[in-house]
């Protein structure tokens, strides 16, 4: 387990310093003080290593974000705040912000991006979804991941500020969930 953590730490440092395109198994293994085979044994591939490194960083940061939000938010408002905070966290972190750079081997732009994001989204948004009985969780997570990707990758003056994003999400996303939310928005 210690080797896995050292490998993840080395990968994150490399991403922060040099971006995704310069992360390779040989360099990560050297930086972590392990063999190349150890990296492959634990993570399988470079893509899996990078994806897991970003997931670990994101999950740790998102736990802190959730802890800072009021515990009594209605499910719809909790969902909105989590999306707003996810954008803030991703944009503000040296490694996660590199996810937003197209053409730089970013996991956001690979074919399995949504598939890889679903477990993290499930952990991060589960509390909001649990407050919405009758909602198909798999469909809801897929929608949330697509919304978060959209919010992260397609900024505009209309949603650039957090309050503008909240207003937009209330106007465009909550109505999709109205049959489930009812009066608990």
In a domain, 10, yes or no: no
In a domain, 130, yes or no: yes
Structural domains in the chain (count): 1
**Tens-binned pLDDT, residue by residue, of the chain (185 aa):** 698 999 999 999 998 888 888 889 999 999 999 999 999 999 998 888 988 888 888 888 877 877 888 888 887 888 888 889 888 888 888 888 888 877 667 777 888 888 888 888 888 887 777 766 666 778 878 888 888 888 888 888 999 999 999 999 999 887 776 554 444 44
Predicted pLDDT of residue 183: 44
Residue range of the domain that includes 147: 51-178
pTM here is 0.76
- CA 180, CA 12: separation in Å to the nearest integer? 39
In a domain, 111, yes or no: yes
In a domain, 128, yes or no: yes
- Which two three-digit tokens encode residue 68? 């800072």
In a domain, 162, yes or no: yes
């Amino acid at each position: 387990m210690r080797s896995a953590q050292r490998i993840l730490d080395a990968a994150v440092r490399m991403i922060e310093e040099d971006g995704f395109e310069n992360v390779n198994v040989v360099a990560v293994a050297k930086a972590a003080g392990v063999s190349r085979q150890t990296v492959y044994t634990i993570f399988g591939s470079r893509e899996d290593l990078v994806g897991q490194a970003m997931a670990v960083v994101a999950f740790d940061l998102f736990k802190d974000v959730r802890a800072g939000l009021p515990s009594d938010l209605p499910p719809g408002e909790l969902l909105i705040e989590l999306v707003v905070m996810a954008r803030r966290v991703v944009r503000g972190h040296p490694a996660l912000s590199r996810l937003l750079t197209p053409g730089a081997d970013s996991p956001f732009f690979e074919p399995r991006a949504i598939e890889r994001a679903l477990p993290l989204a499930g952990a991060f948004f589960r509390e909001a979804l649990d407050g919405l009985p009758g909602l198909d969780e798999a469909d809801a997570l897929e929608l949330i991941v697509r919304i978060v990707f959209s919010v992260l990758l397609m900024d505009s003056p209309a949603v650039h500020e957090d309050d503008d994003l909240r207003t937009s999400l209330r106007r465009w996303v909550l109505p999709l969930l109205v049959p489930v939310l009812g009066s608990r928005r």
